[in-house]
Amino acid sequence: MKPYDYLVVGSGLYGSVFAYKAHKAQKRVLVLEKREHIGGNIYCTDIDGIHVHTYGAHIFHTSNKEVWDFVHKFVEFNRYTNCPVANYKGKLFNLPFNMNTFYQLWGVKTPTEAMAVIAKQREESGIKNPSNLEEQAISLVGKDIYEILIKDYTEKQWGRKCSELPAFIIQRLPVRFTFDNNYFNDSYQGIPIGGYNKLIKGLLDNIEVKTNVDFSENRDYWNSVADNIVFTGKIDEFYSYCLGKLEYRTVRFETEVLECQNYQGNAVVNYTSHTEPYTRVIEHKHFEPENPAWESNKTVISKEYSAEWHEGSEPFYPVNDKKNTSLYQKYKEMANQETNVMFGGRLAEYRYYDMDDVIEKALKDSEKIK
């Protein structure tokens, strides 16, 4: 008999939620984590009492009541609402695209006036059936917004032309004819009070976890210790890149501690022109205004630089263009043949996942626990 029922490779949200459910079902669970800490990309680092989102801003939002109730078992959430500001060549605009943005751009004061400007620009573009991000964006919000708030930002983030990217990426962003700067349409939104580590620690409470262990370095051994494997790493790496490499975008963060109480007045400022090489600047303390560290005369900011993933850097975003999507499908066919390996999460499913969707999927997959 093998010592474990489930070996969970990766302690990010998918792995941790699955491990929690397996442990609850009285299964013998071991979690392997190749980094020195648990939590995957939601891990927070404490700098002067500020919970720094080490791997980029993570704002929890969902309309799924079951998921919202589930995360509340482990941590309280504050009422943070994401209202990013865009800086284009020194001028500020509200995001997502809403009446405030339309007023700042065109001076229009009513939804009818704003809709008329967009309709005119859409008509002038001649786009009928948008087939890529550029066409989708122009037909949704017109040429001005595309050029000022979308084009350069998207090119910096993805390193590809907007006409080569899938339309669904931009469909994440709401367009509203109300004066509402809330970036998300979901019913629930917030940041865990005390940071995300509380959530992961709660999920993995009483579960055996080994950090600094890379499954792929000793695969035969780890295969021999458990009846089932839940793999949350890169699916192409799992198959030793036998069909070729999937592409990812990585993000490099330049984090600075500044001797100042409030640097930019907002958690997220996007830089939407090529003037700046980074995509956005995060000021972490604004995620938790209730934290006493908010008052202090120090603040932590991170500039985000997006680049093509290469071996040795962290894979962040899957590049869901045609080429990569079809390669992923081939790996998926291999994965479907497995009888004791499950694949879940952003890297294993090669999917641009939000946190709530990852949790929902892990909860659903955990129903298969034998």
Q: Give catalytic residues, as residue numbers.
A: 172, 176, 249, 280, 304, 352, 354
Q: Which residues contact 320 (CB under 8 A, 6 or more apart)?
A: 166, 168, 169, 350, 351, 352
Shortest Å distance, C-beta 317 to ligand UDP: 7
Question: Smallest distance, Å, CB 155 to ligand UDP?
Answer: 9
C-alpha span between 229 and 29 (Å, rounded):
10
CA distance 7 to 228: 6
Q: How are beta strands 50-53 and 44-47 bridged, if at all?
A: antiparallel
Helix (H, G, I), strand (E, B) or coil at 156: helix
Instruction: Report the nearest approach of ligand UDP to the CB of residue 151 (Å).
Output: 7
| Nearest to ligand UDP of 68, 153 (CB atom) | 153
Question: What are the φ/ψ torsions at residue 166 (nearest 5 degrees)?
Answer: -70, 145
Structure tokens at 231: 């793999």
To ligand UDP, the closest distance from the beta carbon of 147 in angstroms equals 11
For the chain, what is the total number of helices (H) and then of strands (E)?
Answer: 11, 16
Residues 6+ apart with CB under 8 A from 7: 29, 30, 32, 222, 225, 226, 228, 229, 230
Residue 351: closest CA among 317, 323, 322: 317
Indicate the residue among 173 and 193 with the shorter CB distance to ligand UDP: 173
| Residue number with CB closer to ligand UDP (170 or 209) | 170
List contacts with ligand UDP (CB under 6 A). Answer: 86, 95, 149-150, 153-154, 157, 169-170, 172-173, 270, 272
Is the Cβ of residue 100 or residue 272 nearer to ligand UDP in the bound state? 272
In this structure, are residues 193 and 74 in contact, taking their beta carbons and an 8 Å threshold?
no
Please report how close the Cβ of residue 146 comes to ligand UDP at its closest, in angstroms.
Answer: 8
Q: Cα(56)–Cα(287) distance, rounded to whole angstroms?
A: 12
Provide, rounded to whole angstroms, the least separation between the CB of residue 80 and ligand UDP.
15
Residue with smaller CB distance to ligand UDP, 173 or 213: 173
Place of tokens 């573009």: 125
In the bound state with ligand UDP, the residue whose beta carbon lies nearer, of 223 and 264, is 264
Query: Nearest CA to 264 among 245, 284, 288, 246?
Result: 284
Work out how close the CB of 243 gets to ligand UDP at its nearest, in angstroms, rounded to a whole number: 26
- Is the CB of 114 or the CB of 150 nearer to ligand UDP? 150
Under a CB-based contact definition with an 8 Å cutoff, are residues 74 and 199 in contact? yes
Distance CA 56, CA 234 (A): 19
In this complex, which beta carbon is closest to ligand UDP, that of residue 74 or of residue 305?
305
Q: How far is the CB of 135 from ligand UDP (least distance, A)?
A: 13
- Contact of 82 with 76, CB cutoff 8 Å: no
Is 358 exposed, middle or buried (CB count within 10 Å of its CB: 0-12, 13-18, 19+)?
buried
